Amino acid sequence: MTVPYPLKFQPEFKERVWGGRALEQFGLELPEGHIGEGWMIGDHPNGITQIVNGELAGKGLDEVREQFGREWFGTKGFSEKNGRFPLLIKLLDCNDDLSIQVHPTDEYEGLPKGELGKTEMWYVLDAKPGAKIIYGLKENVDRTALAQAIEEGHIMDALQEVPVQAGDSFYIPAGTVHALCAGVVVAEVQQNSDTTYRLYDYNRPGLDGKPRELHIEDSLNVIAYEGAGATRMKTDDAKPNEWLQLAQSPYFVVEKGIVSTPWELSTTAESFVILVICDGTGTLSWEQGSIEFRSGECFLLPANLGSYTLDGSCTVLRSVAP
């Protein structure tokens, strides 16, 4: 019988035209190229992460999910639509601006078969001076006005720009127009989906030298012109050993915690727990063992792990299925 323990994975790295080498700051060994995304915990056809620690080392997240089911992943730990792990956890290095994009809801008829919509949130790990993001439409921009701006080549005039700093948090429900911009490194918690519709990509070529595909009609169809409930917050008021809620959606709840003294916690039968170490170092202990961690590492705690303790000096994101 396999006793539950915190699972750590080998990231799946993705080269992107906007990527760079910033994820090396977390001690990650990157392949060559412009690495934009590290899929830290993934159970998607485009990227399944493999366990690197303990008895289950070498197994994919999909295998473990199928083998241990709801006992390990929780009564809410599965997508009702496709049975997979419901979340995808990423670290993103935005060495250049991302395309202006929007994601569909689960209900959109144009979704690829078996794919989910994509609600997500960002926590900014690092931001260069003057860094910004695109976050929503300007007031009174409706479908007609946006379509006209695209056609006439001035879409940027219809979008909101927001300055960002490390520690900022952004909730991005499906239907929200958005884009990370150059000089930002973020942790992303999202639905387990790889569906993105591009509105604009600065007329730049992709990695293959050809123009990147745009999805104007799909984008115009799925945008929530009246707003989808996007929220942002500064998180400087997080207190040691207390959770500060950053985002709550039908798919995930994400909280920030500052660890400065031993912090005793516990999983529940309803959901796994995902921990993203944002900065600092520390130790994760549970009944059968302990593991040291550092910034940039991510762990999946089985729902039946029970009590565990965080110790050290670090900032942590905790995500669960609601």
Amino acid sitting at position 111: L
Annotated binding-site members: 103, 120, 178
- Residue 28 CA to residue 177 CA, distance in Å, equals 30
Per the listing, tokens 């412009």 go with 34
- Integer angstrom CA distances of residue 199 from 130, 183, 186, 231: 24, 21, 22, 22
Helix (H) or strand (E) holding 107: none
**Burial (Cβ within 10 Å: 0-12, 13-18, ≥19) of residue 300:** buried
Cβ pair 274, 41 in contact under 8 A: yes
Nearest to 241 by CA among 170, 309, 287: 309
Annotated binding-site members for Zn(2+): 103, 120, 178
**Residue 190, Cβ neighbours under 10 Å: how many?**
21
The DSSP annotation for 109-125 comes to: TTSPTT-----EEEEEE
Point out the residues that are catalytic. 198
